Amino acid sequence: PKAEKIVIKPNMCYYWDWSTGQTTDPVFVAALIGLFREEISSNVKISIVESDASAMKCKYAFKYLGYEKLARDCDVDLVNLSAVEAEKAVVKVADEVFEFMVPKIIRDSDLCVNVPKMKYMSFTKISAALKNIYGCNPYPNKFEYHSKLDKVIVALNKVMPFDLHVLDGLTVCGSKTLRLGLVMASQDPVAIDSVAAKIMGVNPKSVAHLRLAEKEGLGKTSFVVKGVDIDCFRRRFPRRSFSEKVIALGYRVACKLGLDKRLV
């Protein structure tokens, strides 16, 4: 493909480094950068993007998670989406209209690459490709969206569609942290999330934002796997215990009732 400007969105949800399985490994991102420069152009401009969140600031995440070193070593830019020019976008999901500010760097890029993790999430069951785009919302107080999170995730993916999703499943976090050695890639975020859900022991049809994303035309929950059979990863993935599932269910109920603001 021809591209002059590439945006890469890793998962930098908090100050946990890659070894926890919670955030994208910068070494994995560096490998992707090398691949893009080899396959597209050595002069392609690449930006690593993230936004501020309620309990996470980009300037610290870039430093503590190894992305400042990555930027120096690979000659790429680090961009805080909460501090750059953005344009208003209006989008309808199901029966509700949402307004978001969309960073121009994403709109103007030739290739947008999403590099998520795969993990359990209390209020959405799973977090993978679709949920990672939630971090492209430049508005910092993201907890305000928790009561409508499924719709918001889908809305943000509609106004900021990424071209490629490359999941870092090398180190994963379930009931414990495990070196799983998995990499998945797809142009369909719903399909890749459905595979991730199955590996984690979650029925994709039980994940509200996956059902909604499929209904809104973002992709398909049906999929065809090329490469290693997912069963070998599903057997090894450290699944949550029953008590952990109960706690997660309780938190999802709190989010639906808007009580999560008291928990932040």
Q: Which CATH architecture has domain 5-262?
A: 3-Layer(aba) Sandwich (3.40)
CA 25, CA 11: separation in Å to the nearest integer? 9
35 band by pLDDT with thresholds 50, 70 and 90:
very high
Left if phi > 0, otherwise alpha if psi is -120 to 50, otherwise beta: which for 58? Answer: alpha
Could you tell me the pLDDT band of residue 2, with boundaries at 50, 70 and 90?
Answer: confident
State residue 264's pLDDT score. Answer: 39
CA pseudo-torsion sign 35, 15, 17, 188: negative
User: pLDDT tens digit string along 145-190?
Assistant: 989 999 999 999 999 999 999 999 999 999 999 999 999 999 999 9
Please tell me the predicted confidence (pLDDT) of residue 242: 52
Stated as kind and residue range, the H or E segment containing 156 is helix 149-159
At 245, the pLDDT band (50, 70, 90 cuts) reads low
H or E stretch at 106:
helix 104-107
pLDDT at residue 38 in the model: 97
Q: What is the pTM of this model?
A: 0.91
